[in-house]
A and B are shown apart, each in its own frame.
Chain A
Amino acid sequence: MSNENILEVQHVTKEFPGVRALDDVSFQIRTGEIHGICGENGAGKSTLMGVISGVHPIGSYEGTVLVHGQEAHFRSVRDSEKVGLAIMHQELALSPYLSIYENMFLGHAKTTLGILDWDDLLEQSRGYLKRVGLTDPPETIVSKMGVGKQQLVEIARALSKQTKLLILDEPTASLNDEESEQLLDLIMELKNEGLTCILISHKLNEVLRVADRITVMRDGKSIRTYDAHTEDVTRSMLIKDMVGREMNALYPEKTPNIGDPVFEVKNWSVYHPEYHDKKVVDDASFFVRRGEILGFCGPMGAGRTELMMSIFGKSYGSRSEGTAYLHGEEIHFASPHDAIKKGVGYVSEDRKSLGLILIQDVKTNISNSSLPMLSRWGVVDDDREIQAAEHYRRSLNIKTPSITQLVRNLSGGNQQKVVLSRSLLAEPEIFIVDEPTRGIDVGAKYEIYTILNDLAAQGKSIVMITSELPEAIGMADRIYVMNEGKIKGVLDRGEATQEGIMHMALS
């Protein structure tokens, strides 16, 4: 490792409409080091990597990026690849039905007059595959390999592009422990061969194991860079920097009135929809009481959404195991229809593709779950439908010129209220809300918190999945912490701190 900087980011600020994703970020990557980057969801890590790799072209941000000491003018990802940068995304970018070596040279294979020499490429691929330690024959179709091996193919692909700086975005998120170990070892080896790596990871243990230096980001700012060789960096130090923001009165006051347990789930496991042996949720058990707001925290990919969707009428996964009890009696939900009928509501985190029907109006979106209730002999009663929609427009303060407005024309916060209305109209007893305040502004957030508190006060049980720790602490009566498909523990309202939750999740 030298003291020369392969990459230097100087005062970079990047804004999206309404959000400042990066705020005056500066840091350096030294040639030949492994540089860890840590931060909560939404801290700006992905946006930063987008700026570095040309996903966000020059001119769309302020500040400068220097590569090998020269200012970079990347207009696209291709430009950054030319100077030896490669990024490996969380979702793999391989073409599933092509072979290993076809994938490796896709888009940058050398041709003679536009003609490919496949034999030559096959030969070349062997060398790179040996370097990453992949023993499968290069003709193997990538979809037949596990995620871990596919990742190795991605790295081999990066090496074949003469990459000098490799950015790995959550590379171990979908790997098991053994595969993760192997991948980290490989990164160390490649470092010894002269490759520079940026490692973005939620798993602090991994970062601490391999990184030479670690930069912590929070709220779009680079908070601090640690040198692992000169300082004694600990998990606690990193976590403190990651969450160290002030809690204000962002959450409405409430006086919990909690009753007996209403809904209980025992030993629930969910299997991946495509890889049928892989457990996405492993032996999860929890319960929720009357009038209680339950928080579910954990990093992305912890299995929270998958757990809830699987409970909500088998909406996720190839299969599931476990039992659910409503009022002490075992209960099965065959479909979302069945779950809604038996008193469970679910509001998806993905408003646009799983929540709303964007080409329909506010009224129709609100009534879609409850049409049988609003009709006689299968004919929809317009009057009652309009009354119901108007009721929720007023009580949830949905800002729309009329209930016949198309929902695609509403703001994110108002769209969220429409989805909530739809679920509430079906009168759920157990109300599962998945990231209810994602992507909406502060004012609308407060309104949604108030709605949830009111529901709890009416005796409904609320399960709130959230990635924002302050939100969980400000709203929830109890917090379940999940990571890697398992429930890691539960914290009461009084004892939950951001550090505590992070420690629990990453333990």
Chain B
Amino acid sequence: MADNSLTSNTMSFGQLLKKNVRSYSMFIMLTLIFVVFAVLTGGINFSPRNVSNIFMQNSYILILASGMVLVIIIGNIDLSVGSIAAFTGAIAAMVYNTGIGLIPTIIVTMMVGAVIGVWQGFWIAFMGVPSFIVTLSGMLLFRGLTYVITNVSPISLRDEGFSKITSGFLNSEALMAGDVSLLPWVVGAVLAVILVGMSIQAREKRRRKGFVIAPVSALILRNVFVVALIAILSWKFANFRGVPIVGVVLAIVVTILTFVTNRTVFGRYVYAVGGNKRSAKLSGINTELVEFFVFVVMGSLAGLAGLVFAGYMNSALPQAGQLFELDAIASVFIGGASMSGGIGTVIGAIVGGLVMGVINNGMSLMNIGADWQYVVKSLVLLLAVFYDIYTRRKAGLA
């Protein structure tokens, strides 16, 4: 064990790398996969249209994954999210067809999702039925109810307005330069300034408190990476119609959930319950209530995902959402969450979901069918989780 002194407050680059090897390796893996497919497809997957497409095609899985990661951190599982997405998609279409507008539709749909979460959370948290069973039952229940309310036929939407949530773009006539939209650059620039400013401020705060901080070089490297990522996305979006609305929706979901998990009491309770439920209970944490709310959050996000998927298909399908739960769960585990609970991040789940999304997309562009996509995805899941377990064991965390 190291000594107690605080004389050396800046950790070396090597230490930093060692400490964060798992979170970095996730990003590196995503980048590598993207580059490999860029080579294999002759750069098509890097075209502005395709970059926007990747977000749209995977948006609903990413939304589900960012809720699923909470469920998995508290050591539970949710198998029902696909069926709930189908059910809430149908509800969304029905509500929208009454003509109350998109925003009220989103609110109503997410509330319906939350009520479903209340139902499942009640059985899991307060009645002590294992989540595997409750959500397996929910998977059947909401598939059945979807068939009931849709009469097993698609519900079409009254106008194009609904599908904007998934396939629409934010744009501004005033900010057009020929075919190129300047709005993504403006949004990107603002975002970059905020993120860089926040990271500098956070480091400064830690330094003042005498904490161990990362070296300046690491700070710069990290911010260069963030700015580059934003610049690439801005560039791509600028050249294809503007910022995808679903990207904005996703950004809001991820920002809120990241804030909740990192900074709020509720988020800390989630990790505590997942880390050791009995100890959390004796620490005075109302573990049942925490479990309950996690399922309510998951339910409302499943509602949002159902709405986004209905927008993507431009109609509510009774068969929608099949196997969504497995894609969401796989994303969470590829993103570094632990099967035994207590470990996982929202950003990780998003990166995990993108890994699978980029592979699907790349293979589709190469005209490789769904059959082989399954094979490759299965290996990625297995190897990613093995790598995670392996590095964790090496770091003495297993």
Chain B, range 242-267, C-beta contacts under 8 Å to A = 263-266
The CA of A358 and the CA of B4, in the complex, are separated in Å by 21
Within 8 A of A (CB), among B277-294: 278-286
Is B268 located at the chain interface by the 8 A CB criterion?
yes
- Taking a contact as CB atoms under 8 Å apart, the answer to whether A401 and B4 are in contact is yes
Is B265's CB under 8 angstroms from A371's CB? yes
Our pick among A357, A364, A380 for the contact of B265 (Cβ within 8 Å) is A380
Q: Does A341 interact with chain B (Cβ within 8 Å)?
A: yes
For B4, the chain A residues whose CB sits under 8 A away are 399-401
Is A354 an interface residue, CB under 8 A from the partner? yes
- From residue B251, how far is it (CB to closest CB) to chain A in Å? 20
> A157 near B: Cβ within 8 Å?
no
B64 within 8 A of A: no
Q: In whole angstroms, how far apart are the Cα atoms of A220 and B251 in the complex?
A: 63
Query: How far is B265's CA from A375's CA once the two chains are assembled, in angstroms?
Result: 7
Q: Please determine whether A336 and B268 come into contact, CB atoms closer than 8 angstroms.
A: no
Q: Which residues of A contact B281 (CB under 8 A)?
A: 315, 336
A293 to B129 CA separation, bound complex (whole angstroms):
42
19 pairs of residues in contact across A and B, judged by CB atoms under 8 Å: A337-B286, A355-B279, A357-B272, A357-B275, A357-B342, A359-B342, A359-B397, A364-B272, A367-B268, A368-B268, A369-B283, A371-B269, A372-B265, A375-B264, A379-B264, A380-B263, A383-B209, A401-B2, A402-B211
| A423 and chain B: residue at smallest CB distance | B283
Which of A353, A358, A426 is close to B278, meaning CB atoms less than 8 Å apart? A353
Chain B residues near A399: list those with CB within 8 A.
Answer: 1, 4
Count of inter-chain pairs, beta carbons less than 8 A? 93
Q: Which residues from chain B contact A400 at a C-beta distance below 8 Å? A: 1, 4
Which residues of the partner chain A approach B342 to less than 8 Å between Cβ atoms? 357, 359-360
Contact A409 B396 (CB under 8 A): yes
Given contact pairs A355-B282, A360-B275, A369-B284, enumerate 14 new A-B contacts (beta carbons under 8 Å): A336-B284, A356-B276, A357-B272, A358-B275, A358-B276, A364-B268, A364-B271, A368-B280, A378-B264, A378-B265, A386-B211, A399-B1, A399-B4, A400-B1
State in angstroms the CA–CA spacing of A77 and B132 once bound together. Answer: 38
Taking CB atoms, residues of chain B closer than 8 Å to A358 are 275-276
Chain B 1-16: CB-based contact to A (< 8 A → 1; otherwise 0): 1111010000000000
Cβ of B313 to closest chain A Cβ, rounded Å? 37
- A95–B286 alpha-carbon span in the complex (Å): 34
Asked if B343 is at the interface (CB within 8 A of a chain A CB), the reply is yes
- Bound together, the chains give a CA A378 to CA B342 distance in angstroms of 20
Q: Is the CB of A404 within 8 A of B212?
A: yes
Hey, which chain B residues are within 8 Å of A406, CB to CB? Answer: 397
Q: Report Cα–Cα, A364/B342, bound state, in Å.
A: 13
Looking across the interface, which residue of chain B has its beta carbon closest to that of A368? B283
Residue among B265, B279, B282, B342 with max Cβ neighbours from chain A (10 Å): B282
Residues of chain A within 8 A (CB-CB) of B269 are 371
Query: Within the assembled complex, what's the spacing in Å between the Cα atoms of A92 and B137?
Result: 36
- B276 adjacent to A353 (CB under 8 Å): yes
Instruction: Say how far A210's CB is from chain B's closest CB, in angstroms.
Output: 39
Given A356-B279, A371-B269, residue A380 in contact with residue B212 (CB < 8 A): no
A445 to B268 alpha-carbon distance, docked (Å): 31
Minimum Cβ distance to chain B for residue A472 (Å) = 24
Is B279 within 8 A of A353, CB to CB? yes
Grouping DSSP codes into helix (H, G, I), strand (E, B) and loop, the B interface class, with mixed when no group exceeds half, is loop
Cβ distance B117 to chain A, nearest Cβ, rounded Å: 19
Find the B residue at minimum CB distance from A364. Answer: B268
Q: Which residues of B contact A379 (CB under 8 A)?
A: 263-265
Q: A363-392: which have CB < 8 Å to B?
A: 364, 367-369, 371-372, 375, 378-380, 383, 386
B-side contacts of A360, CB under 8 Å:
271-272, 275, 342
**By CB atoms of chain B within 10 A, which of A379, A404, A406 has the most?**
A379
Residues of A within 8 A of B278 (CB): 353-354
Contact with A along B373-398 (1 / 0, CB 8 A): 00000000000000000000000110
Asked if A348 is an interface residue, CB under 8 A from chain B, the answer is: yes
**A486 interface residue, CB < 8 Å from B?**
no
Q: Is A35 an interface residue (CB 8 A)?
A: no
CA distance A399 to B397 in the complex (A): 20
* CB-CB contacts below 8 Å: B133-149 with A: none
Given A348-B282, A386-B209, A422-B283, check contact A359 B275 (CB 8 Å): yes
Chain A interface (Cβ < 8 Å from any Cβ of B) = 312, 315, 335-337, 339-341, 346, 348, 353-360, 364, 367-369, 371-372, 375, 378-380, 383, 386, 399-402, 404, 406, 409, 422, 426
Contact partners of A346 in chain B: CB under 8 A: 282
Across the interface, do B343 and A336 meet the contact criterion of CB distance under 8 Å?
no
Contact with A along B170-193 (1 / 0, CB 8 A): 000000000000000000000000
- Determine if B285 and A337 form an interchain contact, defined as CB atoms under 8 angstroms apart: yes
With contacts A371-B268, A371-B269 taken as known, whether A357 is within 8 angstroms of B284 at the C-beta atoms is no
B residues 1-37 touching A (CB-CB < 8 Å): 1-4, 6
CA distance A203 to B2 in the complex (A): 47
Min Cβ gap B13→A in Å is: 18
Given contacts A371-B268, A380-B263, contact A335 B286 (CB under 8 A): yes
Q: Decide: A368 and B272 in contact? CB cutoff 8 A.
A: yes
Distance of A371 Cα from B275 Cα, bound (Å): 16
B126 CB to nearest chain A CB (Å): 13
Specify the chain B residue showing the minimal Cβ separation from A402.
Answer: B212
Task: Give the shortest distance, in Å, between B344 (CB) and chain A (any CB).
Answer: 11
**Chain A: which residue is nearest B212 at the CB level?**
A402
Complexed CA–CA distance, A73 and B342 (Å): 44
Give CA–CA (A339, B278) in the complex, Å.
16
Q: B282–A336 contact, CB under 8 A?
A: yes
Contacts of A364 in B (CB 8 A): 268, 271-272
3 tightest Cβ-Cβ pairs between the two chains A and B: A357-B275, A340-B284, A401-B2
- Min CB distance, B288 to chain A, in Å? 9
Report the minimum CB–CB distance from B227 to chain A (whole Å). 25
**Interface core residue of A341, A402, A406 (most chain B CB under 10 Å):** A402
Central interface residue in A336, A341, A364, A406, by most chain B CB within 10 Å: A336
In the complex formed, the residue of A with least CB distance to B340 is: A359
- Are A401 and B396 within 8 A (Cβ)? no
Establish whether residues B279 and A357, one from each chain, have CB atoms under 8 Å apart when the complex forms.
Answer: yes
Residue in chain B with minimal CB distance to A372: B265
Please give, as numbers and ranges, the residues of chain B lying within 8 Å of A357 by CB-CB distance.
Answer: 272, 275-276, 279-280, 342
Question: Chain A residues near B285 (CB, 8 Å)?
Answer: 337, 368-369
Q: How far is the CB of B275 from chain A (nearest CB, A)?
A: 4
Give chain A nearest CB distance to B172 CB in angstroms. 34
Residue on B with the closest CB to A341?
Answer: B284
Q: How far is the CB of A396 from chain B (nearest CB, A)?
A: 13
CB closest residue in chain B, given A356? B279
| Residues of chain A contacted by B279 (CB below 8 angstroms) | 353-357
Q: How far is A346 from B279 in the complex, measured between Cα atoms in Å?
A: 11
Task: Write the nearest CB–CB distance from B46 to chain A, whole angstroms.
Answer: 39
Nearest B residue to A315 via CB reads B282
B residues in contact with A312, CB < 8 Å: 282
- Of chain B, the residue at the smallest CB distance from A355 is B279
With both chains docked as a complex, state the minimum distance between the C-beta of A299 and any C-beta of chain B, in angstroms: 24
A contact residues around B3 at 8 Å (CB): 401
Residue of A nearest to B396 (CB): A409
A353, B285: Cα distance in complex, Å? 16
Residue of A nearest to B259 (CB): A379
Residues on A with beta carbons closer than 8 Å to the beta carbon of B6: 402
In whole angstroms, what is the CA distance A361 to B164 when docked?
45
Taking the closest CB of chain A, its distance from the CB of B119, in whole angstroms, is 24
Q: Are A337 and B397 in contact (CB under 8 A)?
A: no
Smallest beta-carbon distance B267→chain A, Å: 8
